Structure 1
């Protein structure tokens, strides 16, 4: 599995908002509540790929100290504004990607999380991320990856199977559109899907087990084609 170098950095360079289904505070509050349930405690938290801190500011209500990390300067600029507006004084922000993150840390955490980010990493990069993250995880800590594209369900979502008004004709049209998009992407040497890679949960589980973690996965409440991977040291 490969991707053009820095393609995701280019894509997110000027983005200012995360890819949530709805940007209303009501929806973000519900989404954060679900994620806090799976994070299940702890006092310190590292949020990799925090974006504009739409979820991070809700996490801040439950944690003593938080660090938000993103490789997009525009996202972190929006995150700073949101943090100031929400008066969250327990959040620090770091500009880094999955490779440079670790040398910027000077403490360990009870929870290390990432939401809607893992699909932009290859399996090898996920392997390295879990290995490095384990070094900065406190005793009884957890690594939780939220909203991973499910390779079994995501293709069905893309062709409209989960739509309210779906029918055979619409599904066939979307299949044709997706096929043309993939062919075009191949000729232009760009990603076949700008939303990233879809990952089978059992493959993620094998990687987690390799590094001494027991993993469980649960379906996302708000995205029918995504799942959460919850990892705890065995």
Structure 2
């Protein structure tokens, strides 16, 4: 991929909603419950890449203090609206990215999480993220990467193999579309896949182990081509 971070920042610059399968409150509520189950307690939480706060506002009742971080001002504007609407006084928002956030924090956390974000980081950037996060993690805390693109399942999802109406003709059509998308991206010097990088569970586990953590791999309930990396 060419110049990924600049492209991601440009892509999200004016967006006002996250990449959830559905924006319906019923779906977001269920998705948040699954993630809260894996977060498994704690009193303070840092949500990196919180986007428009769709999940953050569901986390709020379960924590004493929360900090939401994102590099998109438009996303944080939407998150701020949601927070005011629900009258959550325990959430602070910070405009920052994976490099600048660590110098802006004045406290440590029981949980540091990122949902649908790690796909925009390279292996080297994930390594640095875990190293930095470990310095802001309370004893017994967890780093949880939600919804990481699984390189074993994501290609199958892209060609429609998990669709209810999957068929040979539809799969061939999707394969053709993906090939054209890749060619177009190369010609325009854009990322081949706007959803970012896939990461093998063993790769993230190896990085976690390097920094003295264990990692548990859990399949996502609501995205068949994604998994959660629970690092503790």
Q: Name the counterpart of 1:207.
A: 207
Asked whether the equivalents of residues 2 and 122 of structure 1 are also in contact (C-alpha less than 8 Å), the reply is no
* In 1, Cα distance between equivalents of 2:22 and 2:5: 30
Give the TM-score taking structure 2 as reference length: 0.98
Asked whether the equivalents of residues 13 and 73 of structure 1 are also in contact (C-alpha less than 8 Å), the reply is yes
Asked whether the equivalents of residues 4 and 189 of structure 1 are also in contact (C-alpha less than 8 Å), the reply is no
Q: Name the counterpart of 1:191.
A: 191
| Residue 31 (1) aligns with residue 55 (2) | no
Q: Name the counterpart of 1:89.
A: 89
Give the TM-score taking structure 1 as reference length: 0.97
CA deviation profile, 1:37-77 (whole Å, cap 9, x unmatched):
00000000000000111100110010000000000000000
CA distance 1:48–1:5, change in 2 (3 Å):
closer
Q: Name the counterpart of 1:133.
A: 133
Deviation at 1:184, TM superposition (A): 1.6
SS of the residue corresponding to residue 131 of structure 1 reads helix
* In 1, Cα distance between equivalents of 2:220 and 2:184: 31
Asked whether the equivalents of residues 208 and 214 of structure 2 are also in contact (C-alpha less than 8 Å), the reply is yes
Q: Name the counterpart of 1:153.
A: 153
* In 2, Cα distance between equivalents of 1:176 and 1:201: 28
* In 2, Cα distance between equivalents of 1:35 and 1:142: 13
CA deviation profile, 1:120-179 (whole Å, cap 9, x unmatched):
001100000000000000000000000011010000000000000010111111111111
Asked whether the equivalents of residues 5 and 120 of structure 2 are also in contact (C-alpha less than 8 Å), the reply is no
Deviation at 1:5, TM superposition (A): 4.6
SS of the residue corresponding to residue 214 of structure 2 reads strand
Q: Name the counterpart of 1:69.
A: 69
Asked whether the equivalents of residues 2 and 190 of structure 2 are also in contact (C-alpha less than 8 Å), the reply is no
* In 2, Cα distance between equivalents of 1:48 and 1:194: 19
SS of the residue corresponding to residue 6 of structure 1 reads helix
Asked whether the equivalents of residues 102 and 132 of structure 2 are also in contact (C-alpha less than 8 Å), the reply is yes
Deviation at 1:189, TM superposition (A): 1.1
Q: How many residues align?
A: 232
* In 2, Cα distance between equivalents of 1:2 and 1:65: 38
SS of the residue corresponding to residue 164 of structure 1 reads coil
Residues 35-184 of structure 1: pairs in structure 2 closer than 5 A = 35-184=35-184
Deviation at 1:3, TM superposition (A): 3.4
CA root-mean-square deviation: 0.9
Q: Unaligned regions of 5+ residues in structure 2, if any?
A: none
Deviation at 1:4, TM superposition (A): 3.8
CA distance 1:4–1:111, change in 2 (3 Å):
closer
* In 2, Cα distance between equivalents of 1:184 and 1:30: 37
* In 1, Cα distance between equivalents of 2:5 and 2:151: 23
Deviation at 1:180, TM superposition (A): 1.4
Deviation at 1:2, TM superposition (A): 5.4
